[in-house]
Structure 1
Amino acid sequence: MKRTAPALALLVPVALAAAQTPTTTPDLPPDPVRDSVLSSMDLGADPCQDFYRYACGRWLDATPLPADQARWTRSFSTITEHNREIVKALLEDAAARPGEPGSERQKIGDLYGACMDEAAIEKAGLAPLEPLLAVAGSARDAATLMRAAGELGRADIDVLLGYGAIADFKDPGTALFFMSQGGLGLPDRDYYVSEDPKKKELLAEYERHVARLLGLAGQDAESAGADARRVVAFETELARASRPRAEMRDRDKLYHKIDREGLEKLAPSLPWAAFFEALGAPGIRSINVAVPEFYQALDRLVGASPPETLRAYLRWHVVNQSADFLPERFAVADFEFFGRALSGQAEIQPRWKRCVAAVNGLLGEAVGKLYVEREFAGDSKKVAVEMIEDVERAFEANLAGLAWMDDATRTRAVEKARKVRNKIGYPDAWRDYSAVVVRRDDYFGGAASAARFETARQLAKVGKPVDRGEWLMVPQAVNAYYLSTNNEIVFPAGILQPPFFDEQFPAAMNYGGVGAVMGHELTHGFDDQGRKSDGDGVLREWWEPEVTARFESAARCVEEQYAKLEVEPGVKVDGKLTLGENIADLGGLEQAYDAYKSWEARHGAPAPRVPGLTNDQLLFVSFAQVWCTQTTPEFLRRQVTTDSHSPGQFRAIGAPRNSAAFRRAFSCAPGDRMVAEPTCAVW
């Protein structure tokens, strides 16, 4: 079972009057909205020089990083914590009053109750893991290895490779079996192959961690140490065969559709029939192999590896991916490396938080149904729909003025934009968890049942029409996404709350908050990768070549600008890895601003709600305050290695630095730090 956890230059129609920025907070009656904005701001900072400090300074000064977090934001983290408390109450109530046996209420209540029953988990010890360890111990050669990999995959233990069911990039109405690189225990290939001293240090600590966890699973110190060396050596070879993360963003280079015979020719020493049979999907015939060279290297690596290495590798991944469901000593050891060493987190999260995350991860839509009933009001959806329609109109109006786009491509872009589907709040049809079996006295068994159900559900999609009503996030998630194969934007109920959105907020705050998120997700359909799919989600070239060249020139400006940003001396943002998200940030903010001006044209400009800030300034402050962030240095280093998003402090200023509307709102001039040189504009 995988560990539980947890998203792409407008013409400004109205010139903005310059306004003085506030330097003091007037003595006014309490106003929660006004006070929440001002209490986070450092009014002594110059917004044209340090807008992050201006928008977030007092919040940064007054908000320590919680000991059980490696990153904390004013928006996502605050709402996530609020939602976690709500879900906790829902689960505690379900655990106390589980209802009919076999009902979803019984399952989520008993899974949470079983997770919280540490005594029962301790008593069970390693016994629940023994069948999976036996599978790992059966590997003697390529044939037994691949059968074991399939059996473990059925139990949601991923080894050797990454795979799943996704829409065919060139026939998005049909689900295709997708195979990619994988098999690593660390978050990225760079941790194995980088010459960076801190990454080398982490790799050495990872080896010690592997030995510790194998020791907890019953091996003596000598054999655990030897197996840890085998594991790291084997995974290092997998890492060498893997493409860098930035290259894995290029969808054109991830499409290599073949049949089973083609797979057997690609990696002839690996008995794929045994793998698919053990996985429970013997009938899979058509496959997209995203990284063919990885499978060629895997073929060679397996053939060159002795049986003891294969068994050690499988055993490690069984223990590693099951640690959250075993006695507390495993969870603590897991935290010491992945939480403390890798991310700088000071303390492990309390048990109840981890149990909420587990139930959310395993039975998320069953929890989401209760969350929506309690938390999501219909009026919120109505306002959100009006906002996304404003953002979409702003995007389409912007297309008409893009000098780098020709008429033919512009017409097709308008067609695609008009085909975007919006999903807000929660799915129309809920997932059926009737096949999952949960008992209050068996946490590992209940989690394993849910994990096996999800694996079977995903595999059952292969070769069948894509369910376009399915959601890839649960309603309680504080996030949003754009899915290119469906050409759709999804906004779960969880994000439609302060500080992103509130019906009582001034419109400028809503547009600067969730409005910019809406624009961000819409722009993903037209970022450096999203633009490659048409309005029906088909991966094809629908741009004129000279337009593509001009787009790439504009995108290169964004890439180069962000690549200069340092999180610490010598550690910079990866401009290629973050390009899509940065383009989406720039476009999203400009669309949100234009959408707000459209709202003003319909409703009239309201009186400013926050003293000393115009409505336009409030929009930009609201945007930046989403990204007020506290992090550990370790987390930042991990983020720039693994995350396609830029760190929060750069997202707060990156889009405003390139916005003409921002410059006018705050009277910034060339040479100011908040005026990018050169200014980048894509959408």
Structure 2
Amino acid sequence: AKLMTQKIGYPEFITNSTELDKEYEGIVLHPDKYFENGLENLKHYALQEQLKLRSPVNRNRWVTSPAVVNAFYTRSKNLISFPAGILQPPLYHQNYPRFLNYGGIGVVIGHEVTHGFDNKGRQFDPNGNLQSWWHNDSLNRFQARAECVVQQYSNYVVPDLSIPLNGINTQGENIADNGGVKQAFRAYKRWAEKYGPEASLPGINLNHYQLFFLQFAQIWCGISRPKAAVHTVRVDAHSPGRFRVVGTLSNLKEFSEVYHCPLSSPMNPQKKCEVW
């Protein structure tokens, strides 16, 4: 975790005209040839990819463009990246209360960090090399905990479609979701204990800890057509948004405490899964 490289916002070279020109050197564009311009771009980037084959790994190079609304963990580089596109509402704003930022982008950061220790990330060492570097005891305990998560999510069924989730295909993202929320909440709680209470949101009778979890749930609020939902369940490495919320928070005792969920209720089951 300490050796993770961080990429936040955008690469520095795009603010330097000379360096930016080098990035697009060799591309010939024509104002009246849209399709051909697209091919020129594809050829240029294909060549750039080929040149990497005999070159040392550039750990400073970004894996995505700044405008992307997403975040990434790159196993082969032990790299986390948060493009400028995701550093905006509803996930983050410089004037948001901390409980919203921690419940938004804070959870995303925790999610990507946890990917370094999920079922795939754990196979890469601190320098991004694919090798077995854990002790067998640690690996056995990890697999037992991961299996709990697999079984938990495999028991979820998409409403109205009667399709169960695939807990095996989604285990990496589920592990990252669970770890991300837990670490972000601990981070916010530590901040609140150090700096004291913030102003609350008007008209909402919830405390800051409750609002943290509400913000996390808001991120995954959405709707999809039935065929799209079926496609998500069958091929996506992520669980549908509903279960990213329910599955994660029902495992977290801190959620049950701040929302006063009775033991053995749906959001506070006696058996909880915990990997990290």
Same fold, TM exceeding 0.5? yes
Q: Who is 1:480 aligned against?
A: 71
Bigger Rg, which one: 1
Q: Who is 1:421 aligned against?
A: 5
1:580 is the counterpart of 2:164? no
Give the one of 209, 233, 247 matched to 1:654: 247
> What is the distance in 1 between the residues matched to 2:96 and 2:199?
13
The answer to whether the 8 A contact 1:628-1:652 is kept is: no
> What is the distance in 1 between the residues matched to 2:90 and 2:192?
21
> What is the distance in 1 between the residues matched to 2:125 and 2:266?
38
Q: Report Cα offsets for 1:516-562 as digits up to 9, x if no partner.
A: 00000000000111011111111121211121111101000101100
> What is the distance in 1 between the residues matched to 2:134 and 2:206?
42
Equivalent AA in structure 2 for residue 655 of structure 1: T
Q: Report Cα offsets for 1:275-296 as digits up to 9, x if no partner.
A: xxxxxxxxxxxxxxxxxxxxxx
Q: How does 1:245-394 map to 2 (within 5 A)?
A: none
Q: Report Cα offsets for 1:168-207 as digits up to 9, x if no partner.
A: xxxxxxxxxxxxxxxxxxxxxxxxxxxxxxxxxxxxxxxx
1:676 is the counterpart of 2:269? yes
> What is the distance in 2 between the residues matched to 1:661 and 1:607?
22
The answer to whether the 8 A contact 1:481-1:489 is kept is: yes
> What is the distance in 1 between the residues matched to 2:236 and 2:54?
31
Q: Report Cα offsets for 1:420-473 as digits up to 9, x if no partner.
A: 111110012346112222212211111111111111110110021111121121
Give the one of 61, 64, 70 matched to 1:470: 61
Give the one of 509, 514, 519 matched to 2:105: 514
> What is the distance in 2 between the residues matched to 1:485 and 1:662?
34
Equivalent AA in structure 2 for residue 590 of structure 1: K
Q: How does 1:83-482 map to 2 (within 5 A)?
A: 417-430=1-14, 432-482=23-73
Q: Who is 2:156 aligned against?
A: 565
Q: How does 1:19-34 map to 2 (within 5 A)?
A: none
| SS at structure 2 position matched to 1:490 | strand
Q: Who is 2:84 aligned against?
A: 493
1:505 is the counterpart of 2:96? yes
Give the one of 625, 633, 636 matched to 2:226: 633
Q: Who is 2:17 aligned against?
A: none
> What is the distance in 1 between the residues matched to 2:102 and 2:205?
19
Following TM superposition, by how much is the alpha carbon of 1:608 offset from its aligned partner in structure 2, in angstroms?
Answer: 2.6
- Cα 1:459/1:676, change in 2 over 3 Å: farther
> What is the distance in 2 between the residues matched to 1:600 and 1:443?
53
User: Runs of 5+ in structure 2 lacking a partner?
Assistant: 15-19
> What is the distance in 2 between the residues matched to 1:605 and 1:532?
41
Equivalent AA in structure 2 for residue 420 of structure 1: M
- Which of the pair has the greater relative contact order for Cα pairs under 8 Å at 6+ separation? 1
1:614 is the counterpart of 2:207? yes
> What is the distance in 2 between the residues matched to 1:607 and 1:496?
22
User: How many residues end up aligned between the 2 structures?
Assistant: 267
| SS at structure 2 position matched to 1:623 | helix
Following TM superposition, by how much is the alpha carbon of 1:670 offset from its aligned partner in structure 2, in angstroms?
Answer: 1.8
Following TM superposition, by how much is the alpha carbon of 1:676 offset from its aligned partner in structure 2, in angstroms?
Answer: 3.4
Relative to its length, the structure with more helix (as a share) is 1
Equivalent AA in structure 2 for residue 589 of structure 1: V
The root-mean-square deviation of aligned C-alpha atoms, in Å, is: 1.3
| SS at structure 1 position matched to 2:77 | coil
Following TM superposition, by how much is the alpha carbon of 1:677 offset from its aligned partner in structure 2, in angstroms?
Answer: 4.5
> What is the distance in 1 between the residues matched to 2:206 and 2:193?
20
> What is the distance in 1 between the residues matched to 2:270 and 2:244?
17
Following TM superposition, by how much is the alpha carbon of 1:609 offset from its aligned partner in structure 2, in angstroms?
Answer: 2.6
> What is the distance in 1 between the residues matched to 2:133 and 2:37?
48
Equivalent AA in structure 1 for residue 34 of structure 2: Y
Q: What is the percentage of aligned positions where both structures have the same residue? A: 40
Q: Who is 1:406 aligned against?
A: none
The answer to whether the 8 A contact 2:161-2:226 is kept is: no
Following TM superposition, by how much is the alpha carbon of 1:615 offset from its aligned partner in structure 2, in angstroms?
Answer: 0.3
Equivalent AA in structure 2 for residue 540 of structure 1: Q
Q: Who is 2:123 aligned against?
A: 532
| SS at structure 1 position matched to 2:82 | strand
User: Runs of 5+ in structure 1 lacking a partner?
Assistant: 1-416
